[in-house]
Chains A and B, each alone.
Chain A
Amino acid sequence: MANVLELQGITKRFPGVLANDKIDITLREGKILALLGENGAGKSTLMNILYGLYKPDEGKIFVRGKEVHIDGPNDAIAQGIGMVHQHFMLVPVMTVTENVMLGIEPTKNGVFLDQEKVAKRIAEISNQYGLEVDPASYIKDLPVGIQQRVEIIKVLYRNADILILDEPTAVLTPQEVEGLFKIIATLIKAGKSIIFITHKLKEVLAIADDISVLRLGRMVGSIEPNKATPEKLASMMVGRDVSLVVQKSAPKPKEAVLKVENLFVRDERENLTVQGVSFEVRKGEVLGIAGVQGNGQTELVYALTGLSSAESGTIELNGKNLQNATPRQILESGVSHIPEDRQRHGLILSFPIHDNMMLCTYYQEPFAKGISLQEKAILSNAEALVKQYDVRTPNIYVNAGTLSGGNQQKVIVAREFSRPIELLIASQPTRGLDVGSIEYIHKQIINKRDEGTGVLVVSSELDEILALSDRIAVIYKGQIMDILDAKKASKEDLGLLMAGIHPSTSPKKK
């Protein structure tokens, strides 16, 4: 069987980072190659090189045996390469048709856009591959799963036969993932070849014909699916045997610290994304909120921390009503918040570390007397925290933006843990971090729990939820499906709940 695509010795350097180091991969015709690796392993960089968005510093690309130079997306498209990006490349205020035709617009009379022609072709593609979509609808009105179909249609419309799917399942529910796998099967049947990028082991084992694993910009090796096990793949990915199980004692929960009842929250677009959520967090326990990204977790946390206001419902902290309190009032009642987006909310990247270390308490003793800032106290505080939390930095005067992701997160953790708190809200606390940092931060969170703090962990990584939580609440479309005891919860049941199906009531599947 012929190799439809070969990359040889691809190397790409960014200032200070070797993103790809002499990488070779091979894609066989009509097969699925899974490219596996942690966040930051260099998968996306490699694919962006293949698609012409980056220029490689070294290396060769062969398509159907011929060496090609890809200087831009146009070259890639001409070679029959198409890419479905992790973050969809769709213009929200335009229709499906407009998005599909962009870049290769057919015209009437040589001047005017011929939308009918494109709509017809979209309908054909839809029928052929089972990609149902209304060409006239606007992207912003479509659910995520359908938007992904539009992305695939875009690629097929350009007659691509090599498809790159970059983390296509990250934003899908398990059921939508199944739908996607069916589509992939249809594509393979039609003779397309696919590179499937992911960091989820099970998906790889489910559909791949070949597996290549990347770590820290290097190719670790290739393996055949029938010889691979999840454990084996995981150790190839992270370079050592990992246990995502955090060593922890049994929880000693006491009275409730946070009570949320019937909470409704609207997002920035005024959509009701949290719809009647109720739960409580007790002192000395970790409540995990599991769910596929985009099911209202972000808005829930925003409402709890005062970053947005709730539509209705009650939020009580130690019996004190905090509904629609300001972030400052919530902070001062003893709530710490590790935000989901650390660079957007958690840090001021252009400020030095010492200022970031007192970002929430700058107006309190000892950092300020009256309105006057106390430089000595600020500096000594930062020195102490950097040492205590092992933040790797040349000194406390460098800007937070110069730190690595893991160290940035440590700055936030140090700051948030260094004041007396009743409740910790940690949203996606280890997203995008290396395994070492993950372990460290998990340990810190469990320590806080053992000190008697109530902890709310929100994460879309089921493994993280399972590792940390004492109880697990599953959120789906803005509602809590169920709250389970972590010891009794199985991954399968959680998966179904995350898809909006109660295991007890659902008809037998498979």
Chain B
Amino acid sequence: MKNTNNQTQTVQEQRNRISYGMTLLVVGVLIYLFFGINTTATSQTTFSLNLLGSQAIPLSDLVLPAQGTIYLMVGIVVFTGAYQLARGVKSTGLLVGIIAFTFIAAFLTWATQDKSFNLTGMISSSLVRATPIALAALCGVISERTAVINIGIEGIMLMSAQIAVVTATMSHNLYVGLILAIIFGGLIAAFHAYLVIQFKVDQIVSGVAINIIGAGFTSFFSSKYLQSATDTLNNSGTFPIISIPVLSKIPILGPTLFENNIIVYLMLILVFAMHILLFYTPWGLRTRAVGEHPKAADTLGVNVNFMRYINVIIGGMIAGLGGAYFTIGSVGRFDELMTSGKGFIGLAAVIFGKWNPIGAFASSLIFGFADSLQVKLQILRVPIPSEFLLMAPYIVTMIVLTGIVGKAIPPAADGQPYEK
């Protein structure tokens, strides 16, 4: 048995090795064709590394010869491809990273030739835009680890966003809004859990219902009350930027990681807290067992439904925090349907990140990056429609789902009600 296992693995590995190697080579050619040819030999690309208004120690701008840089990227990716074909690299994450890095670097160099581009600003805004996606994804991760799919995240975030801004405006205290948004998110999630655990309602149907009710209720409330009373109900202001002493002075890292508002910090803390919770604590062990083999957990005295309730509710509270980000975390007012599908993108990030908190966070960053890139490209007047760039993350998610690039395996019991 052992022997055949090894054999099949090597066959599989060999197939993977060759396909990855070929992909890398193709990407090299593409970079050359798309960007290398279109760049003049003399043009230079300027990357600014300082963020306006930041406390970080200023750095001088990074000025690069455009064509040289692009050729360097081609070189890196082709070399890695050749190495991969010949020897094979163990980590597929590394390969995907190299592909993404070289392609994006070459693209940016080409797009900004003879112009200047603020790299730090780009990274910083990627993180900010990734925040609600990451919070939605964390909600998805913890729910699905106990085998409850929650596609109502969008609706939860929408309602929490509204609750946050209205209560914050009325109480003149942003923290009241924040806490109520979190509690409310937990309540909606509890309702979802109640439907799918108690009544064994199809989990996706229940999520759809929450989304419809969320959109309907917030729009109803908004047009009934908020539009006529913006100042008294829908104008809360936003959380201030908190600069972490000393750390915020580090160039590049400072302005991106250590000059943010409280929700961004909470998101970062939650990513690591959830990782530790899931993989290093009894609670996490039970959570994962319930998601993989609920009956096994049950026979050892683990209360399956209790675990599901609590984890789904925790997820809802995190989604509630994500909802609060949209209003009191960024613009200070509620607009109808303002979450604009971020909850669904979060779900894609869950799968993309293979049901791991850190993976989900990394995927959210990719979506955030694509989002902010679009804005920047409009400023740079790049001659390709930004809509196509915006499609890229969705297409990539679909490719990931095919399993060609590393199969994402969900928790074994994901989506199934537990029956004794």
Are A and B co-members of a single complex?
A: yes
The chain A residues found within 8 Å of chain B, CB to CB, are: 51, 53-54, 72-74, 77, 83, 85, 89-94, 98-99, 101-105, 107, 111-113, 143, 154, 266, 270-272, 275, 477
Check if B90 is an interface residue, CB within 8 A of chain A.
no
**A105 / chain B contacts, CB cutoff of 8 Å:** 282, 285-286
Shortest distance from the beta carbon of B9 to any chain A beta carbon, whole Å: 8
Considering the complex, give the chain A residue whose CB is closest to the CB of B282: A105
Alpha-carbon distance A113/B297, docked complex (angstroms) = 17
Check if B14 is an interface residue, CB within 8 A of chain A.
no
Contact of B8 (CB < 8 Å), options: A74, A107, A272? A272
- A-B contacts, 22 of them at CB < 8 A, read A53-B298, A72-B301, A73-B298, A73-B300, A85-B299, A90-B293, A90-B296, A91-B293, A91-B296, A91-B297, A92-B292, A94-B289, A98-B285, A98-B289, A102-B296, A102-B297, A102-B300, A103-B286, A105-B285, A107-B281, A266-B8, A270-B8
Considering the complex, give the chain A residue whose CB is closest to the CB of B7: A272
Alpha-carbon distance A118/B1, docked complex (angstroms) = 29
Shortest distance from the beta carbon of A165 to any chain B beta carbon, whole Å: 14
Alpha-carbon distance A372/B300, docked complex (angstroms) = 54
Considering the complex, give the chain B residue whose CB is closest to the CB of A477: B1
Shortest distance from the beta carbon of B297 to any chain A beta carbon, whole Å: 6
Alpha-carbon distance A272/B12, docked complex (angstroms) = 13
B1 touches A271 (CB 8 A): yes
Considering the complex, give the chain A residue whose CB is closest to the CB of B292: A91
A73 touches B301 (CB 8 A): yes
Check if B280 is an interface residue, CB within 8 A of chain A.
yes
**B301 / chain A contacts, CB cutoff of 8 Å:** 72-74, 77, 103-104
**A92 / chain B contacts, CB cutoff of 8 Å:** 292-293, 412
**A72 / chain B contacts, CB cutoff of 8 Å:** 301
Alpha-carbon distance A77/B298, docked complex (angstroms) = 12
B299 touches A89 (CB 8 A): yes
Alpha-carbon distance A53/B300, docked complex (angstroms) = 10
**A77 / chain B contacts, CB cutoff of 8 Å:** 300-301
Shortest distance from the beta carbon of A404 to any chain B beta carbon, whole Å: 21
B4 touches A275 (CB 8 A): yes
Shortest distance from the beta carbon of A51 to any chain B beta carbon, whole Å: 7
**B249 / chain A contacts, CB cutoff of 8 Å:** none
**B60 / chain A contacts, CB cutoff of 8 Å:** none
**B412 / chain A contacts, CB cutoff of 8 Å:** 92-93
Tell me the residues in window 312-332 of chain B with beta carbons closer than 8 Å to chain A beta carbons. Answer: none
Shortest distance from the beta carbon of B64 to any chain A beta carbon, whole Å: 46
Alpha-carbon distance A154/B299, docked complex (angstroms) = 11
A113 touches B289 (CB 8 A): no
Check if B224 is an interface residue, CB within 8 A of chain A.
no
Contact of B12 (CB < 8 Å), options: A85, A102, A270? A270
Alpha-carbon distance A104/B295, docked complex (angstroms) = 16
**A112 / chain B contacts, CB cutoff of 8 Å:** 280-281
Alpha-carbon distance A154/B5, docked complex (angstroms) = 27
A89 touches B1 (CB 8 A): no
**B302 / chain A contacts, CB cutoff of 8 Å:** 102-103
Shortest distance from the beta carbon of B6 to any chain A beta carbon, whole Å: 11
Check if B87 is an interface residue, CB within 8 A of chain A.
no
**A477 / chain B contacts, CB cutoff of 8 Å:** 1
A113 touches B293 (CB 8 A): no
Considering the complex, give the chain A residue whose CB is closest to the CB of B298: A73
B296 touches A89 (CB 8 A): yes
Shortest distance from the beta carbon of A176 to any chain B beta carbon, whole Å: 14
Shortest distance from the beta carbon of B271 to any chain A beta carbon, whole Å: 18
**B7 / chain A contacts, CB cutoff of 8 Å:** 272
